[in-house]
Every structure is written in C-alpha cells, then in structure tokens.
Structure 1
C-alpha cells in the first residue's frame, strides 16, 4: 500500500494521494517536499516505485531482503538507509524482534519502505494529514522526526529491562531455580539484539555536527536536532553496555551461589558419611559371628555404645574447630 504526503511550498498547503507519475512536476520546485510511505508491500510495488524514482537495483534488493544491521549508502542523487524499530514483549519467545525500515532520502523527497506498521511513522502521518509541521524544514528534518520517534520507543524497553535485572538480582538469593537462569539468558539475548540494532544507528548519525564530513547531507539549521538524536542513541547504547555487564555479573554470581550451595550440601553429606562410617565399623566388628571377649556381659554393650557416642562427640568437636560445620 502506498501513501503520499506532498507539501507545496508556494502556498504552504498539504496534498495527499498525489499522482506519482507526475513526479517531475511535483519535485520541480526544490522547496517542495514529497513523502512516499510504502508498507505491506509486494515486490512488484517496490519495483514500480524504484522505476518512478530511478532507484538503484541494489537498493531495491536491500529492501526486499532483511538485514540485521543498520547502514547508510550514498547513491547518485539520494541516500539509502536501513534502520530498525524494536518490538518488545517479555511474555513472547523471542521477547524482542526488529522491524526493518528502509528510507530513501533525496533532495526534496523521502521514501519510507516497511512491511509492518511502525508507531513513529503512523504518528507523523496522522499529523501530516492535517498540517505541514514535519514537512516545512526539509527532507532531513522529516528523516530526523522518523528516527527520533523510533528512538523514543527504545526508552520504555530500556526501563523495563533495568527493572527486570533488579528483580532477578533479588530472586537469585530468595528463589534460586533453573527458571531464573533461563530468564537471565533470555535477557542476554534481548540485550545482544538491541546492541546489534542500536550501535550501527548510533554510528550513522554520530558524525553530524562534529565538523567532520557528514555521512549524508544535513541542513545547518537541522544539525542541532541530529545532535540531540545522537545524544539519545549514546545514552541508550551506554545503558545497553551497562546492562550487559550487569547480566554477566549476575549470572556469574548466580553460578557461584549455586556452586557454594552444592559444596555446602556435599560437605554436610561428607560429615554424615564420616560419622556413620565410623559407627558402622564398630558395630560391624562387634557384630561378627565369632567369639569375642566380654560378649556375654551386658557391660560390653554399655562400653561399645559409650565408645560410639564418645567418638561422635569428638569428631563433631574437631569438625567445628576446623569450621567444617
């Protein structure tokens, strides 16, 4: 499905569902801005759009086949972006997945391509039906608004992951179980996917406003917006690195805690075995079916029991003295 939003600079008006076959007329004035949103598409829709805008075949191929990493490629007359939005649901397995968003950024047009609805694009599209708010500052500002909206959806995920780590750090001492290990591993997979998505996007926009050559052209009035976007991505990236360290440390702590509990159990079993083995040796000797001294005297039974009790008390005192129990 194709939706179009056209800002005509001459009279400051918005137009929708324009005829893309008139592309040369629509883009004749460089101050105009055309946004084409292609979603729930079929390959033939993408190829038709590629012919309208003369997109390179490699860029069309990148749209058709999903890529796990974000990137930006410069072609003649436009830049091509592969970006990713995230969907998070901790009750699902896998609990997080990514939605690829492809963007063609031209001199006075933006083309977005995605299979499924993306929240930030839907919000901007709703505003653009009523007002040219996002369309008056150039295509680079529209790109910023889209990416900033996607970035804003990362923060609730970050907050929830932080809360889950805090909860699990308490549970590993209160309710140690195999399920906690599985929860930690699930969190680790989530953090790895977020890192794979966010770090390349951070690198794409990190050169804007630094005085170095931009990875894509940005109007000087829009540079502060990209600096703010980069700051958000840096904060998220730093949080992910911290979460990765916390999860790894928690897993090591949980493993050490489990090992300590196992060692404690083995130590107690060893002590019990030592006590019972000694008593079994004594009773085994006096229980042999051969003549033994004083075996017909009841004092023999009292003496054997006293020796067994004395040995138990002595061994327990030795164990305590050595802090074994």
Structure 2
C-alpha cells in the first residue's frame, strides 16, 4: 500500500497529496528527487515499483524478506539498499514490537518499504519538510531523517527495558524467587534489540566516510551516530546484567530447594527415631502376648508380671537411649585459613599461612 509519494525540488514539496507511480517515475528526470513510501506491499505492488524505478531484482527480494540484522548493499547502477530494524515498547503486553524499513536510495529517488507496526515514517517526513535547507542537500537528507527517527525511538525502549530489569533485580536480590521464564524472556528481548542496534553502527559509520554524504549533512549523521553509540552501550549492559540476574535467580532457587530438602531430612530423622524407639518395645509387647505354657505358669502374680514385662520394656529403651547419645559424630571440616594443628588451649590465627 502506497502511503505517500512526493516530488521534492529546491527544498520544497512540489505538490499536495501522493502521486501515481508513473508520474513519480517521470519526475525523477526533472531535477530534485522523489520520496515514495510503501507499507507492507504485496509481490505485485513491488513488481510495479521495480518496473517504474528500475530496481535490482535481488533488492526487491530483500525488501520482501524479514531480516534480523540491519545491513547496507550497493548495486552496479548506483542504487543503495539500506535495511533498518525498528522497535517500540508495548506497555500493555510489556513486550518489544519490532519492524523493518528497507530504503532504496539513489540520487533521484528514495523508496521506503515498511514492515511491521513499529515502522511509521510520517513524523520523519514532516520534520524534513520543515527543514528546507536540509532538503536542498538531496535524497541523502531523507536518509538522515529516517535514521534520526529510528534511533530516537530506541530510547523509550531502553528506558522501559531498564524498568523491567530493575523490578526483576529487586525481587531476586531481596532473596525472593523471580519467575525464571520472565527473566529469560527479557534477556531474549534484549538480545534481539542488541542485534537491531549494534550492526546499525557500521551502517551509520559508512555514511560518515568521505564522499558518502553531503558535507552539510555530516554533522547531523555524526549526531545520530553518537546517540546510537549510547543506546548500544546501554543495551549491551542490560543484556549482561540479565545474564547475572538469571544466574542469581538460579542460586536463590537452589537455596530454597536446599531449605526444603533440609526440612524433609529433619522430618525423616524424627520419624526414624520414633520408629527405632517403638521397634524393640513392639517386639517385647508382642513376645509377652504369646500363649506359651511357660509364660502362663510363671506369670501367676502381679510382681512377676511387672518384673518381666516392665523390665523387658525399660531395658531396651535404656540401651537404645545410650546408643543414640554415644554414637560417634562426623568431624567438622576446618574453616578456611585456620590452622587445625595449633597447640591445645590456643586458637590458631588466620594469618598462620601468611594470609592477610
């Protein structure tokens, strides 16, 4: 879909409203340049653009595909293809929406093919039309306006990602467990954003080479390049920080799991002690509950019953108590830096091995 198509000459737009492709192609030979803006075109529409403006077939294929990294290519006829990645933060979904802009740049025309909802260029066109002194520099001025808008749109994304990271960071370093899926998703977003930002530095640096842009536009391209350097550093730091937060969250999860394991071990120890205590008692009670003739003949009175049954219950309990309290314990490992060979009655100093 054609969004806008205008002919610019002497720093001014020559008409109101978009013009047909055939008329726009004819204006390319009349001085100035034509800026054609297309949003998510189909194959037939791109074929018409190629036919009227003589674009290379490989450049058209690149404009139809979605790229993960920005790039710049120049063809034999002098036309240059520049692909940018755009980004926008969605507050409702707390996600980063990405888009793409393919720019066909020549001396006589600029064709922008937009993909995705985060790729609007109406603001760049209005801003450039309000700067006739820059429009007089030719089609390269549109490239600066597009670069400037795309790089400026990165700053809110960086700020929102920073806010999300601070929330996760506060949760993790407070000792609570944060959702690992959320941390991983944020790191993936930061990585995708870094892939959109970092390669663009090389594309912009190419415009700063001698003869690649009009002299009057070089300060503006340098300004955009400086802003992009700052965004690149911030995104790289966010990606590294998320990796640290992910590791810290895994450590917190491990600590929580160890606490659960210790509680389960303590519970099992108590149950084992209870079972051990009642095992000999159950044996004695069961033994004296048998109907043997000897037991019937010798348990004829209360004193004999108390002596045999009470003694049979108390003696195993006493032996079990002594065994549980006198069993050897495992030696405690020495603390780092403490000399365990110190003389009796003296505490070894942590400086025994020359450590500060």
TM tier relative to shorter chain: 0.7 to 0.9
Residue-pair matches, total: 311
| TM-score in terms of structure 2 length | 0.74
Query: Is 1:251 paired with 2:264?
Result: no
| Equivalence for 2:287 | 290
Matched residues in 2 for 1:205 and 1:130: separation?
A: 23
Contact map agreement 1:208 1:227 (CA 8 A) in 2: no
CA contact (8 A) 2:128 2:145 kept: no
Aligned to 1:155: 155
1:8 aligns with 2:5: no
The equivalent residue for 1:280 is: 275
TM, length-normalised to structure 1: 0.81
Please give the secondary structure, in 1, of the residue aligned with 2:136.
Answer: coil
Matches within 5 A, 1:7-86: 7-9=8-10, 12=12, 14-16=14-16, 17-18=18-19, 20-22=21-23, 26-28=27-29, 30=31, 32-75=32-75, 76-86=77-87
Report if the CA contact (8 A) 1:155-1:236 is conserved: yes
Aligned to 1:232: 227
By relative contact order (CA 8 Å, sep 6+), the higher-ranking structure is: 1
Query: Cα offset for 1:148?
Result: 1.2
Structure 2 spans left out of the alignment, 5+ residues? 289-304, 334-356
Verify: 1:270 aligned to 2:250, yes or no.
Answer: no
CA distance in 1, matches of 2:307, 2:134: 106
Alpha-carbon deviation of 1:86?
1.6
* Offset from partner CA, 1:48-96 (integer Å, 9 cap, x none): 1111111111111111222222111101122111112123326549x33
Task: From the superposition, tell whether residues 309 and 196 of structure 1 become closer, same or farther in structure 2 (CA, over 3 Å).
Answer: farther
Report the Cα offset of residue 158 of structure 1.
0.7
8 Å contact 2:68–2:195 — kept in the other structure? yes
CA RMSD of superposed structures (Å): 3.5
The equivalent residue for 1:123 is: 123
Unaligned runs of 5+ in 1: none
CA shift for structure 1 position 265: 2.2
Answer whether contact 1:14 1:128 (CA < 8 A) is retained: no
- Which protein shows a greater Rg? 2
Q: 1:183 is paired with a residue of what secondary structure?
A: helix
Alpha-carbon spacing, 1:58–1:293, altered in 2? closer, same or farther (3 Å): farther
Instruction: Indicate the SS of the match to 1:98.
Output: strand
**What are the residue-to-residue correspondences of 1:109-148 with 2, within 5 Å?**
109-116=109-116, 121-127=121-127, 132=132, 135-148=135-148
Counterpart of 2:287 in 1: which secondary structure? coil
1:182 matched residue in structure 2: 181
On the 8 A contact 1:20/1:52 being kept in 2, the answer is: yes
Output one character per residue of 1:140-176: Cα deviation in whole Å (capped at 9) or x when no partner. Answer: 2211111210111111111111111111112235584
Alignment partner, residue 106 of structure 1: 106
